[in-house]
A and B are shown apart, each in its own frame.
Chain A
Amino acid sequence: MPPETTTDTIVPGSREPDAVSGSTAGSHADFRTLEAGLDALQTSPLAEKGPWRRFADGVLPPVVLLLALIAAWQFYIVIAKPRPDLTPGPLDVLTSITDLWSTGHLQTAVVTSLSRGGIGFLIAVAIGTPLGLLLAEWRLLRRALGPLLSGLQVLPSVAWVPAAILWFGLSDATVYFVVLMGAVPSIANGLVAGVDQIPPQLRRVGTVLGANRVEMATLVVLPAAMPGYLAGLKQGWAFSWRSLMAAEIIAVGGSIGFGLGSMLQQSRELADLPGVLATILVILFVGILVELVLFAPAERRLLRRRGLYLTAGR
């Protein structure tokens, strides 16, 4: 029986022994098609969410919750009728915000605080990044300085305000000093954590590819440490902003300008509770805005490029 007609029985030895010749006889083009077919089977295209879907998933839930909270607050004011000077309603706070806006105080305070926070944060990045790299790569320094830096991260940076006032007086230097003490340890520790999490294999590849120390640091270590570094930057910004508010509340006057913290303190002295609440909301809002506009997109982009952001959408 010729081999072509055997359909359900295989006669041993009846098939041509193409073992050796098979792969060469089949042309290279055949192999490429075969490989391309397997590649197609093993990869599936990632479905990108549309803009409307992203809006519905990301923006809608917090906005709905916020509106619900404000409604509940207003509801409580209407039903329970508490003392208006101790429990102002959402409308009182809104009025207070518009008043502060019309006098120009609000804009001045936001600009002052934000620019100080931003400059302080950038200085902290400039100091924290090389410090973190040094700590990550130099074991002895890390053993010596590591615990101190972790301790500084836990120490509330408000604790530095009295000392800073004595050293620098009521000047911007005081504010920046406090901000730096808050942010630098976070940034440095974040970078150290990021470097520690680099798979050792990536460094070996760097060595194998012939990278020198500088190339290793800039082309392998820093990019590989980016997720941890970005987390450190985010925390560093949070600490900058908090420390700044604390410093502005305590240190008022002198050559220190009028920031959001100063505005908060002023409203307290005037027993203006709607003003206090309005300022708190503005501080909160600025914090959320910076997170949403700067850090969240950067983080999403970074993680998506590395394939680490897949779980969030599912």
Chain B
Amino acid sequence: MSAVSVTERDRTDIPGNRPPGIIVSTNTAPAAIVAADVETAIRVEGLSKRFGKAGPVVLDNINLTIKPGEFVCLLGASGCGKSTLLNIIAGLEHPSEGAVTVASGKSAVMFQESALFPWLTASRNVELALKLRGVPRGRRRGEARELLDLVNLADAADKRPHELSGGMRQRVALARSLAQDRKVLLMDEPFAALDAITRDLLHEELERVWRETGRTIVFVTHNVREAARLGQRVLLMSSRPGRIRNEWRIEDNGPRRIESPEVSRLAIEITNHLREEIRRNAA
């Protein structure tokens, strides 16, 4: 915690460092946030994780509160446990210590690989999610069409995953996770394997979907610009053990673009902190 408050002082010392339009603040004590906002979507308390009894500590005392409808980016270098944290929130892995509460129950998850079922068409993939959610048979097809149309893929409904490009597959996966109709959407580097042009478009797509559906999104990435482009809050994690080192809150003035100067300025600042964290691991 002391390291965090130091960086906070660092930043307030240099007023010119603060880009216009973006309010930057660092990790306030989690308890203060809890006290301030009764309404929380996800609460992580004192969470630690180690694999095996004698294994290294992957996550160390993570405390985190996320409000409903927030777009939070978890950023960090390899080995910071950001994916592990996401999997724990998703309920796919269990914490060694501490607790995770997702107010709305279970959450939807999207992975780096689209992980669509290759034997089903795009529409059927979405329909399967609806079926497992308990939507009656007669309504599934129509709802799947609507969801595919939301990601601009209504024309590809009858195509199979292998006939779609990587970006299209991720959009089907997004439609499928929206089909789960859960308030929280967890995304594990969903655009990491895409080319830059496609990724740029998908950022816009995701932002629009987020604004239209009001989902709470936790977005794991190792791409600083992506985090600065998308997040309302960016959480920087340190590696070995994974801890939340720093936090930026970005004022939401409507859609940003990855090329815009304030995103670049923020990305530079975050990158400097990230590099500092990585340097620690030398020797």
Give A contacts to B, CB under 8 Å: 17, 19-24, 28, 31-32, 34-36, 38-39, 42-43, 46, 199, 201-202, 204-205, 207-211, 215, 219-220, 223-224, 226, 305-308
Contact = CB atoms under 8 A, between A and B. Distances in A.
30 contacts: A17-B260, A17-B261, A19-B259, A19-B260, A19-B263, A24-B254, A24-B255, A28-B208, A32-B152, A35-B201, A35-B205, A36-B155, A38-B167, A38-B197, A42-B166, A201-B113, A204-B92, A204-B109, A204-B111, A207-B92, A208-B92, A208-B180, A209-B128, A209-B176, A210-B180, A223-B117, A305-B118, A305-B160, A307-B160, A307-B163
Nearest to A206: B132
B199 to A, nearest CB: 11
Given A43-B165, A307-B161, A23 B204 contact: yes
A301 B160 CA distance: 13
Q: Which 7 A-B pairs have the closest CB atoms?
A: A307-B162, A19-B260, A42-B165, A201-B115, A306-B118, A208-B109, A23-B255
A233 B147 CA distance: 38
Interface string B113-124: 101011100000
A224 B257 contact: no
Given A201-B115, A204-B109, 16 more contacts: A20-B255, A23-B204, A28-B208, A31-B152, A31-B205, A35-B152, A42-B167, A43-B163, A199-B115, A201-B113, A205-B115, A209-B176, A219-B132, A223-B119, A307-B163, A308-B162
Interface in B151-169: 152-153, 155-156, 160-168
Nearest to A39: B168
Nearest to A35: B152
B106 interface: yes
Interface string B184-223: 0000000000000110010011001000000000000000
Contacts of B256: 19-20
Interface of B: 21, 90, 92, 106, 108-109, 111, 113, 115, 117-119, 128-129, 132-133, 152-153, 155-156, 160-168, 176, 180, 197-198, 201, 204-205, 208, 253-257, 259-263
Given A32-B152, A208-B90, A209-B128, A42 B198 contact: yes
A192 B263 CA distance: 51
Contacts of B132: 209-211, 215, 219
Given A43-B163, A43-B164, A208-B92, A20 B254 contact: yes
A45 to B, nearest CB: 9
A178 to B, nearest CB: 35
B201 A34 contact: yes
Contacts of B153: 39
Contacts of A21: 254
Contacts of A201: 111, 113, 115
A226 B120 CA distance: 13
B187 to A, nearest CB: 12
Contacts of A219: 128, 132
Contacts of A35: 152, 201, 205
A208 B115 CA distance: 12
B165 A204 contact: no
A102 B257 CA distance: 83
B92 A306 contact: no
Nearest to B108: A208
Contacts of A20: 21, 253-257, 260
Contacts of A22: 257
Contact of B165 (A23, A32, A39, A207): A39
Nearest to B113: A201
Nearest to B195: A42
Given A204-B115, A306-B118, A209 B129 contact: yes
A205 B261 CA distance: 38
A242 B20 CA distance: 80
B152 A36 contact: yes
Contact of A38 (B119, B133, B201): B201
Nearest to B205: A35
B261 A19 contact: yes
Contacts of A19: 256-257, 259-263
A208, A224, A307, A308: residue with the most chain B Cβ atoms closer than 10 Å: A208
Nearest to B131: A219
Given A208-B90, A208-B92, A208-B109, A46 B163 contact: yes
A126 B162 CA distance: 32
A224 B109 contact: no
A204 to B, nearest CB: 6
Considering residues A31, A38, A223, which has the most beta carbons from chain B within 10 angstroms of its beta carbon?
A: A38
Nearest to A210: B132
B271 to A, nearest CB: 19
Contacts of B261: 17, 19
Nearest to B203: A23
A243 to B, nearest CB: 32
A210 B109 CA distance: 11
Contacts of A42: 165-168, 198
A7 to B, nearest CB: 21
Nearest to B186: A208
A208 B117 CA distance: 14
A34 B201 CA distance: 9
A220 B21 CA distance: 47
Given A224-B117, A307-B118, A209 B180 contact: yes
